[in-house]
């Protein structure tokens, strides 16, 4: 960002505290609430002015509650900023695909192990080769399994339960997924033939872009009690899986955006940006989209579950271990791009709202009924991945999140360079060599993918996590560092 642009951003916003900046309610005509952007001053200085515009635009949508919000990783997105959070009243608000994104339930899960860094480091290259061979990745990648229409319906409706019942995982995996890996209310008849066709061959595929499977080790523990409950300790090897609903979710979003673009006109909703296409939450159009979105969310949980199952098999075979011997237990799985009907306290009263989290994740506190029972005394694990060469973090949800952000935190580091610019300015082979010199091995289907996702195209994950921690939205439990990365 230029100095002039940084000054413009500072002039627009009102400082609430060191990590909270307000977009005044009169910044743009039609705003129903102010905006709130949760960033430090250094992160504010690299925030695009266009992202502030998007925060203000979202604030103009009907039925929005309290604030239009942007997390510390916020950057320009489709309609809503990526890192955007907004809650809309169940009766007077709207549902908008732009507040969810095209990759519905893009999310991340973390798996712990009983292996140490010393066990894995000498064999890391061979282990990554085995993972790369076992898990289909890249644009248009096809699964090792095929499902028929009946099975696809079951996946849309039952989510992770389908995967476990069909041998892809164990019962304990279910309780360690957000929403137990299954959102209610799916309606497969709201999913088009084209979306189904795209979804059938892609279950258990990593995809491309910022999706990854990363082998890591726990470098630092900040909260001994929480780490013990989550099963984490220093020197331990873990791995993360980051992907979403693939072609099915993208097509579902595309299909329903067309319908909701017309619905916005039908219901006379004055949109500051056509990318904010929406409909009243109780309307047939909005509910039809929501039921299809739930199908995609459940599909995404199955996708990550199947990938995890195959990765477990690779680890077991590679280390010649019996099933369960390596302690490859799911720590948690969080959704990044989804809208959920939730109960929140607003102005002293409990209300039902559709919370849209786009590039943002839940951060529910200790005692919340949706936190897994074995974690409930501590709070929900909040997983914030880094960017290939940088640290990832595990945090725990906090009561402050319920007060400040409708129980939400950021989902990653956030881009500062577009994919197009990254491919133009960076060379994947050079990034790969640089990371190797730092002890990080990267495998990808093509070098350009490494350039697109180089550490320098993202904000510092540590800076972003510090904002979340210092605000008390979620507090740090452990830091993990990358050893090897498989990219699509």
Catalytic residue ranges: 411
Are 480 and 393 in contact, with CB atoms under 8 Å apart?
A: yes
Q: What b-and-e string marks burial along 100-118, b requiring 16 or more CB atoms within 10 Å of the CB? A: bbbbbbbbbbbbbbebebe
Round to whole Å and give the CA distance between 458 and 450: 13
Angle at Cα 446 formed by Cα 442 and Cα 450, nearest 5°?
A: 50
What is the Cα 294 distance to its own chain's centre? 15
- CA distances to 47, 56, 129, 339 from 336, rounded to whole Å, are 21, 21, 28, 10
Strand-strand pairing, 82-89 and 236-243: unpaired
Strand-strand pairing, 82-89 and 94-95: unpaired
Residue in the block written with tokens 């009924």: 369
- CA distances to 12, 22, 58, 184, 356 from 64, rounded to whole Å, are 21, 16, 8, 23, 11
Residues in a beta bridge with 177: 333
Residue in the block written with tokens 């331990």: 236
Angle at Cα 204 formed by Cα 192 and Cα 216, nearest 5°?
A: 135
């Amino acid at each position: 960002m230029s100095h002039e642009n940084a000054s413009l951003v500072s002039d627009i916003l009102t400082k609430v505290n060191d990590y909270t900046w307000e977009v005044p309610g009169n910044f743009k005509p039609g705003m129903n609430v102010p905006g709130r952007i949760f960033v430090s001053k250094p992160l504010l200085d690299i925030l695009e002015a266009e992202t502030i515009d998007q925060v203000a635009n979202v604030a103009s949508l009907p039925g929005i509650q309290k604030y239009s919000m942007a997390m510390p990783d916020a950057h320009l997105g489709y309609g809503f900023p990526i890192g955007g959070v907004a809650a809309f009243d169940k009766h007077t608000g709207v549902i908008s695909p732009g507040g969810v994104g095209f990759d519905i339930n893009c999310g991340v899960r973390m798996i712990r192990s009983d292996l140490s860094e010393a066990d894995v480091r000498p064999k890391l290259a061979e282990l990554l080769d085995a993972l790369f061979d076992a898990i289909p990745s890249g644009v248009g990648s096809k699964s090792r399994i095929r499902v028929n229409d009946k099975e696809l319906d079951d996946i849309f409706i039952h989510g992770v339960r389908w995967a476990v019942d069909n041998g892809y995982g164990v019962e304990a995996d279910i309780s360690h997924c957000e929403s137990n890996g299954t959102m209610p209310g799916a309606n497969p008849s709201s999913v088009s033939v084209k979306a189904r066709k795209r979804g059938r061959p892609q279950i258990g595929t990593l995809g491309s872009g910022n999706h990854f499977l990363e082998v890591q080790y726990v470098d630092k523990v900040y909260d001994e009690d929480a780490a013990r409950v989550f099963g984490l300790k220093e020197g331990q090897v873990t791995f993360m899986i980051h992907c979403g609903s693939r072609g099915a979710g993208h097509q579902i979003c595309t299909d329903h955006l067309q319908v909701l673009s017309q619905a916005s006109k039908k219901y006379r909703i004055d949109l500051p940006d056509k990318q904010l296409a929406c409909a009243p939450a109780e309307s047939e159009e909005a509910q039809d989209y929501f039921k299809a979105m739930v199908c995609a969310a459940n599909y995404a949980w199955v996708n990550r579950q199947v990938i995890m199952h195959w990765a477990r098999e690779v680890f077991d075979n590679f280390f010649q271990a019996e099933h369960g011997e390596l302690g490859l237990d799911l720590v948690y799985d969080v959704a990044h791009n989804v809208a959920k009907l939730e109960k929140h306290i607003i102005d002293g009263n409990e209300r039902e709202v559709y919370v849209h989290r786009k590039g943002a994740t839940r951060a529910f506190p200790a005692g919340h009924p949706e936190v897994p029972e074995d974690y409930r005394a501590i709070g929900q694990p909040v997983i914030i991945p880094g960017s290939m060469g940088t640290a990832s973090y595990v945090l725990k949800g906090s009561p402050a999140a319920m007060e400040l952000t409708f129980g939400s935190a950021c989902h990653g580091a956030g881009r500062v360079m577009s994919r197009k610019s990254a491919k133009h300015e960076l060379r994947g082979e050079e990034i790969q060599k640089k990371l190797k010199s730092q002890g990080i091995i990267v495998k990808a289907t093509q070098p350009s993918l490494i350039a697109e996702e180089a550490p320098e195209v993202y904000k510092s994950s540590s800076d972003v996590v510090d904002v979340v921690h210092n605000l008390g939205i979620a507090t740090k439990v452990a830091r993990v560092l990358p050893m090897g990365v498989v990219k699509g």
